[in-house]
Amino acid sequence: MSDQLKTTFELNGVTTTVVSEGHVPLADTLRHLACAVRLGCRNGDCGTCTVLLENQPVKSCLVPTGRAAGLRVTTLDGLAKGDELHPVQQSFWENNGFQCGFCLAGHVLCAVALLRDNPDPSAEQVDDFLRGNLCRCTGYEQIRVSVLAATHASGPADSPPALAEGQTLTSEVSSTPTK
């Protein structure tokens, strides 16, 4: 059995193949591919590494890279269409939904997932859906405002390709950084 694991998945619409060790979390693999994925706690607590796996929000520090094989992965990079922000991104921008920005990708991707399944959530439903994401700047109020303001503007979570269709990325993740 080879210890080098080859995993092919669809990253923001682009077929991507990575080589890694079996214990490397998807979060590290995506960072190696220069995606807008941040790592906070590496423990499933903070939510900043959230990505969409088959349109469901997951904390990518908890996902072994091999599990992504054959699946669609959406990161923050996959939301905007060129210079045009995704409606949820635009709403966070307009409503001061972030300060330092460290938690932003996780909050935006969770909000995208929420609005896809529930286009008109109550404030309580927004709070409930975002409770897996920690923010230490905003006090959450403007995040809630941003999601509620995006309610009627949000498009589908289907993300446009970040690179040209059919283009293949290949990368190698050799080690896992530790805490």
Partner 1 sequence: MTGYVAPRSVEEVVDILTSNPSAVVCGGGTMVMPRLSSQELNADLVVDLANVLELRRIGRDEDGTLRVGAAVNYRQLIVDPNVTDVLRGMARGITGGPQIQGQGTVGGSASYGNPASDLPGVLVALGASMVTEGPTGRRVVTASDWFLDAFVTPVTGQPVLLREILIPPREGDRFGYRKLKVAESSWPIVTASARIHYSEATDKSAGSVTIAAAAPTPFTIQLGSADPTRADLQSAIETVAPSWIDDEIASGSYRAKVAAEIARRAISAARTEAENP
Residues found near partner 1 in the complex (CB under 8 A): 1-5, 21-23, 25, 42-45, 47, 50, 56-59, 61-67, 69, 110, 113-114, 129-134, 176, 178-179
178: phi then psi, degrees, rounded to nearest 5:
-100, 170
User: DSSP secondary structure string, 64-122?
Assistant: BGGGGTT-EEE-GGGTSBTTBPPHHHHHHHHTT--SS-TTHHHHHHHHHHHHHH-SS--
CB of 66 to partner 1, least distance (A): 4
- Is the CB of 134 or the CB of 163 nearer to partner 1? 134
- Is the CB of 56 or the CB of 170 nearer to partner 1? 56
User: Per the structure block, which two tokens stand in for 172?
Assistant: 């190698």
CB of 10 to partner 1, least distance (A): 17
CB of 60 to partner 1, least distance (A): 9
**Three-state DSSP state, 124:** helix
- Counting every residue, how long is the chain? 179
- Is the CB of 8 or the CB of 21 nearer to partner 1? 21
